[in-house]
Amino acid sequence: MQRAKRRIATALSAIAGSLLLSLPLATVPAHAASHDPIVFVHGLSSDSSTWNDWIADFEADGYSSSELYAISYDWTKSNVTTASTLSTYIQSVLSKTGASKVDLVVHSMGALSSRYYLKNLGGTSYVDHFVSVAGVNHGTSVASLCGWLYTSCKEMEAGSSFLTALNSGDETPGSVSYAAYWSDCDAAVVPNSSAELSGATNVDVGCISHTDMNKDDSVYKQVHAFIG
């Protein structure tokens, strides 16, 4: 009788072990790393392709393509118009990804429409980090070369009504984490200190040209660390 009981117990143990081994791996919860989606905003006379290098860098550092979005827009129009376009775009990214917030990484004039979105269109509720790279935050004397032709460029002139309103009060509103990276030999942002933002983490990256700022590897590493 005892031998029979042992045989039955052994058989049941073997069956239970086989069942456990056959359970699908999906029953074990996976905790994959995830990030806020990043929305990249280009500047004057440019398009989304200006971010190709950094998008590749972010992918190499663990971001998926479904977490990286670069918008293209009509840069000749007012930054107010672009801010509205950006607002719609960000809502579509949030809807597509299921995320509650995005990180905004912007270059040059892209800082103006993005900051208008944050200040005037409720953007602070949907943005976690804001990164300005060579942003024309307080205007540039170079804008006089094209201000007569494009509304967007005229708005970049120091003292313009657009910039006066944008920079009145709090330059870094909401609970967003702000950073501004600027070069001390940027020929497109004159004076160079115009790129700084009151209340932000302001970083002088050294002597890097305006068009190289959002392609440079050392600047990328600092931006990645700030967002991370």
Closest CA to 137 of 87, 104, 171: 171
pLDDT in tens, 159-212: 999 999 999 999 999 999 999 999 999 999 999 999 999 999 999 999 999 999
- Structural domains present in the chain: 36-227 (3.40.50.1820)
Closest CA to 114 of 79, 71, 161: 79
Alpha helices, DSSP H, located in 104-227: 110-120, 151-154, 161-166, 217-227
Closest CA to 137 of 177, 174, 178: 178
Closest CA to 207 of 182, 180, 181, 183: 183
pLDDT in tens, 106-161: 999 999 999 999 999 999 999 999 999 999 999 999 998 888 889 999 999 999 99
Answer with the residue of higher pLDDT: 14 or 155. 155
pLDDT in tens, 44-77: 999 999 999 999 999 999 999 999 999 999 999 9
The residue count of the chain comes to 228
Q: What sign does the CA torsion over 199, 200, 205, 211 have?
A: negative
The answer to which of 22-26, 84-88, 109-113 has the lowest mean pLDDT is: 22-26
Check residue 148 and give its pLDDT. 85
Check residue 106 and give its pLDDT. 98
Check residue 146 and give its pLDDT. 86
Check residue 34 and give its pLDDT. 84
